[in-house]
Amino acid sequence: MIPLCSRFRLLPLICGGALSACAVGPDFKQPDPPKTSSYTETPLIKRLATAAGVPGGSDQELVEGADIEAQWWEFYKVPELDALIKKALQQNPNLGAADAALRAAQANVNAQIGGQYLPAIGVGANALRQKQPSAVYGLNYGTDTYNLYNTSVNVTYKFDVFGGARRAVEGARAQAEVAQFQLEGAYLSLTANVVTSAVREAALRAQMQATEEILKAQTNLAEVTEKQLKIGTVSKVDVTSQRTLVSTSQVDLFNYERDLAFARHQLAVLVGEIPSNANIAKFDLANLHLPEKLPLSVPSSLVRQRPDVRAAEAQLKAQNAFVGVAIANLLPQFSITGSIGAAALTSAHLFGPNSSLWTVGGGILQPLFQGGQLLAQRRGALANYEQAAFQYQATVLNAFQEVADVLRALEIGAQALRSASDAERYAYETLDLVQQQYKLGAVSYLAVLYYQNQYQQAKVKSVAAQATRFSDTAALFAALGGGWWNREGPAFTPKDLAKKDHNETSGKN
């Protein structure tokens, strides 16, 4: 007979043997990337149109197969933007929440490994004082009152014969992957939102400045018109029309001022601060630079780069594993238990030579009837897998749509900026000529009014087209995954921890 201590030593070998068996349920197979070599229906223009002399009008070229830098926003060459993103990566609460969710999911993996793979071992001790009638021993006299002390070490292990435990751990690991890619998605979303919000802030500031210049010119013309009314060269309608135009521009200015405040509030929240306490830099379109080279990943790489696609794939893997768990629950469950300890009537004899006791036992349980619960759970697991598969397909389709959209937006946006820049220049030249002619009495006031409106619209559209070039560039980097795989260090580094690491590094130097 094998001694009890040797039997306990065999448990790891038994565990290893059980874990080497096949697991029920389907093995996960990574989905193949879509079979396509292009993002768009028609061929792309690799070199985008330029608009000389205006922000966002510089040359850009799409480079197929090029990798994406982790800090892609540095291509804009704005130190204030780099500092703002660094601050956001340390303080944004949504990013911090995603990081905490990842740590919780990783801890759950360790919990599953410990609970599913390893034996449960516990130590117990108790002391009892009890009274029993002698009749329980077959005697017909009196009762016995006595103390009973015992200690024991208990071991329980469930054999993973059909792989249900392995599937449960596999599912937990996949869910940790989901949390990991959700963190990367939050990182990508945050960096892209900071860039686009900064661009919007710069665009609104430029539109405000343009409107202020136009308002100043309109106000001057209104004063000239009022003087001309006094000498009878214009009518009252001309004066009121010009004053209406001045008031309309003032309304536009107030709207831009409001939107600019909203944009700065949004930037403050993105960096994790209250708007009243945030010290947000002011951005200028003229200080932004367009990246000269735009990386364009091949379509087959997109599904490996996008965090949302990777998260959907990990969710599919998790649901696949849970199908195996549901199947294993329908099959026999094997377990072994053992305990070793001591019992005595007095504490002094508890560890004596005649107080030892031990038990070893095994069990098997085959579920027969549980009201259809296990079969329903299996059907539910299969339905959850199908749902995850459809969600993965939808995520992939959305990813390709976003890339296709932004590529066309870049191409058309570059052309639109060139046309908008030309329109602004021609509108300004026309307005200047008409205003000079009006002062000389060569044209009517209606002509001035018309060309003022033309120039104002052209100026605002030109600024909007400039901002669109910068925003679309950021959207391309985000749509392709943002280069998170090239990043060094974690996605989220709390401010205090980052400061501690910096101090430790400085101390070593």
pLDDT, residue 4, reads: 41
Contacts of 372 (CB under 8 A, 6+ apart): none
Q: What is the pLDDT of the chain when averaged over all its residues?
A: 88
**Mind listing the pLDDT tens digit for each residue in 402-426?**
999 999 999 999 999 999 999 999 9
Q: Taking 80 as the threshold, does the pLDDT of residue 502 lie above it?
A: no
pLDDT, residue 233, reads: 76
Give the helix ranges, DSSP H, for 232-306: 236-270, 299-305
Q: Which of 74-83, 165-174, 236-245 has the lowest mean pLDDT?
A: 236-245
400 three-state secondary structure: helix
Contact 14, 122 (CB under 8 A): no
Share of the chain above pLDDT 90, in %: 59
Q: What angle do CA 307, 403, 487 make, to 5 degrees?
A: 40
Q: Taking 50 as the threshold, does the pLDDT of residue 505 lie above it?
A: no
Q: Taking 80 as the threshold, does the pLDDT of residue 1 lie above it?
A: no
In the block, which residue shows the tokens 């609460």? Answer: 93
Contact 256, 208 (CB under 8 A): yes
Spatial distance between the Cα atoms of 291 and 474, rounded to a whole number of angstroms: 10
CB atoms within 10 A of CB 363: 11
User: What's the whole-number mean pLDDT along residues 5-18?
Assistant: 43
**Mind listing the pLDDT tens digit for each residue in 195-251?**
999 999 999 999 999 888 888 888 888 888 888 888 887 788 888 888 998 999 899
Sheet holding 120-133, edge to edge: 120-133, 143-159, 333-344, 356-365
User: What's the whole-number mean pLDDT along residues 285-314?
Assistant: 94
Strand 333-344 versus strand 143-159 pairing type: antiparallel
pLDDT, residue 138, reads: 67
User: What's the whole-number mean pLDDT along residues 486-497?
Assistant: 86
pLDDT, residue 452, reads: 83
pLDDT, residue 227, reads: 86
Q: Taking 60 as the threshold, does the pLDDT of residue 27 lie above it?
A: yes
pLDDT, residue 475, reads: 96
Of residues 352 and 247, more confidence is placed in 247
Burial tier of 498 (Cβ tally within 10 Å: 0-12, 13-18, 19+): middle
Contact 172, 432 (CB under 8 A): no
Strand 143-159 versus strand 120-133 pairing type: antiparallel
Of residues 124 and 477, more confidence is placed in 477
pLDDT, residue 332, reads: 92
Write out the two tokens for 367. Answer: 């579920």
**Mind listing the pLDDT tens digit for each residue in 373-400?**
999 999 999 999 999 999 999 999 999 9
Q: Taking 60 as the threshold, does the pLDDT of residue 489 lie above it?
A: yes
Q: Which domains does the chain have, with CATH numbers?
A: 4-281+301-508 (1.20.1600.10)
Whole-structure pTM value: 0.85
pLDDT, residue 493, reads: 87
* Of the ranges 45-49, 54-58, 471-475, the best mean pLDDT one: 471-475
CA distances for 144 relative to 131, 134, 149, 163, angstroms = 6, 6, 16, 51
**Mind listing the pLDDT tens digit for each residue in 290-304?**
999 999 999 999 999
